[in-house]
Chain A
Amino acid sequence: MEELIVTPDTQLACKPSDYRSDLKPVWCPGCGDYHVLMAFTRAFAQLAVPAEQIAVISGIGCSSRIPAYTNCYGFHGVHGRSLALASGLKVTRPDLTVVVASGDGDGYSIGGNHFLHACRRNIDMTYVVMDNRVYGMTKGQPSPTTEPDFDTAISPGGTGLSPFHPLVNALASGANFIARCFAGEPNETAAILVEAIRHPGFSFVEILSPCVTYRPDQKQWKDLVHPAPVAATNDPAKAARRIMTDDGFNIGILYRGERRPYQPKFQPQSLDPSVLEQEFEI
């Protein structure tokens, strides 16, 4: 049975459906984010972490709707600020499994600076970016990862700008685990998410998640993706070379660092509201 996702007897109580809420997603039919949601719930079931011990934090955008579709604690936050929220949560509640969901606009543009510093801080959480190289929710504007020649009404002939390279930036900024997945492979994605969540420190997982409405050309991604030909490395120099020279469709774990996660010594404070109010007294 070595080919199977092994579920020890102690984990049999967890099913992916245990992690789904009753809300029906509003994503467009065919959207890659449905697969990502499946990957999330399958990963959580494999980890067998109770839903109430997981927090899914997000910003704004199609992908950021995902906390509502899970049964875990969630926070659908401010645009680009999901990592700030998640960092605060994780340092005060290190017992929680913190998973952050974002898109390429929310994560790399509005939240770009938070991304760099979250990598640098290396707090033990997992950052999942559903990259469709377009702002889908606001009707198809180019995002930081959009190709320079993507022709739209708002950017005739394309932006002409070099796309942001999230994996290179994550590595340079200190992320401790870097992987790329394809949404159309939810089981493979779930397996990588399990490893990302288990890996100490800041894990960054980019998921290529097609936008079928504004980027119908991305339906071809399923024919372009391919498994990473070599195993993950813990050598940043090797990882840098690999990430900078791959074709952008290399799927798998690309880097597993060994940096110690940042976890400040937290002194629990009184949760008495009157104590908190004193801080803001005029």
Chain B
Amino acid sequence: MSKTPGAPTVSTLADLFGAAYQIEIDAVERYAMLADQMEIHNNPEMVDVFRDLARAEGIHAEEIRRQAGAIDVVAQARRIGKWTKGESPEEVDLAAAHYMMTPWHALQMALAGEKRAVAFFTHIAETAKDQKVVQMAAEFVEEETEHVNLVHRLLRKYPAPPESWRQDLDPPISQE
């Protein structure tokens, strides 16, 4: 029921909450990894940005847990496991990281992830047979769309860096 290859099959409300929770937890882990990378590579501004993004996704995960009520989302998410192909929608691309990246780059990563989440839930809302699933998926679409809008608002605060953003005055160079 998902057009994303390797995505979990979402047939019930429990499946949906499990998938939604897993998406947020995956995002938290990914942003935390990136924050650690930036810490090791002495880019403190980006440490804060990625920690903030991880915190925001963690809050969203907790909201999903509350919304799920009696459904044990943690168990559902564990049952679902990881995406079998590709990665879950909000797992931002680790390969896009750079030790001199800026908040604009992080927000571009986040924007792409939120858009993938919108597409994921939209597809469920359009194809699910269970009306409860349709309704809840539509709510998730609204929430993820709000996240997209939020990232767009943040991007006004952090405009694109100049072309020279990756210029390193003391770069790693090949041995001569």
> Is B95 within 8 A of A25, CB to CB?
no
Interface size on A, residues (CB 8 A): 42
> Is A29 within 8 A of B79, CB to CB?
no
Contact residue among A30, A188, A222 (Cβ-Cβ distance under 8 Å from B97): A30
User: What is the number of contacts between chain A and chain B, taking CB atoms within 8 Å?
Assistant: 98
> Is B85 within 8 A of A187, CB to CB?
yes
Specify which chain B residues have a CB less than 8 angstroms from the CB of A184 in the assembled complex.
95
Contact residue among B29, B81, B97, B172 (Cβ-Cβ distance under 8 Å from A29): B97
**For residues 68 through 100 of chain A, which have their beta carbon under 8 Å from a beta carbon of chain B?**
none
Listed residue (A28, A141, A219) with the most chain B CB atoms within 10 angstroms of its CB: A28
> Is A26 within 8 A of B40, CB to CB?
yes
**For residues 65 through 112 of chain B, which have their beta carbon under 8 Å from a beta carbon of chain A?**
75, 78-87, 94-99, 101
> Is A5 within 8 A of B36, CB to CB?
no
Specify which chain A residues have a CB less than 8 angstroms from the CB of B6 in the assembled complex.
3, 187
User: Given that A29-B37, A210-B95 are known contacts, is A5 also in contact with B172, CB under 8 Å in the complex?
Assistant: no
> Is A24 within 8 A of B39, CB to CB?
yes
> Is B87 within 8 A of A7, CB to CB?
no
User: Which residue in chain B gives the minimum CB-CB distance to A46?
Assistant: B81
User: Which residue in chain A gives the minimum CB-CB distance to B94?
Assistant: A34
Specify which chain A residues have a CB less than 8 angstroms from the CB of B97 in the assembled complex.
29-30
Specify which chain A residues have a CB less than 8 angstroms from the CB of B29 in the assembled complex.
17
Contact residue among A3, A25, A35, A214 (Cβ-Cβ distance under 8 Å from B84): A3
User: Which residue in chain B gives the minimum CB-CB distance to A5?
Assistant: B81
> Is B34 within 8 A of A29, CB to CB?
yes
> Is B39 within 8 A of A187, CB to CB?
no
A51 within 8 A of B: no
Type the 1/0 row for A174-218, where 1 means its CB is closer than 8 Å to any CB of B.
000000000011111011000000000000000000101110000
Listed residue (B34, B83, B85, B94) with the most chain A CB atoms within 10 angstroms of its CB: B94
B7 within 8 A of A: yes
> Is B95 within 8 A of A30, CB to CB?
yes
B38 within 8 A of A: yes
A–B complex contacts, Cβ < 8 Å, 8 sampled = A7-B81, A25-B36, A25-B37, A26-B40, A29-B38, A29-B99, A35-B95, A187-B83
Q: Which A residues fall within an 8 A CB radius of B? A: 1-7, 12, 15-17, 24-30, 32, 34-35, 42, 138-141, 152-154, 184-188, 190-191, 210, 212-214, 219, 222
The 8 tightest CB contacts between A and B, nearest first, are A140-B174, A29-B97, A139-B175, A153-B176, A24-B36, A5-B81, A29-B37, A30-B97
Beyond known contacts A26-B40, A153-B174: 4 more, CB 8 A cutoff:
A12-B78, A34-B94, A139-B175, A219-B95
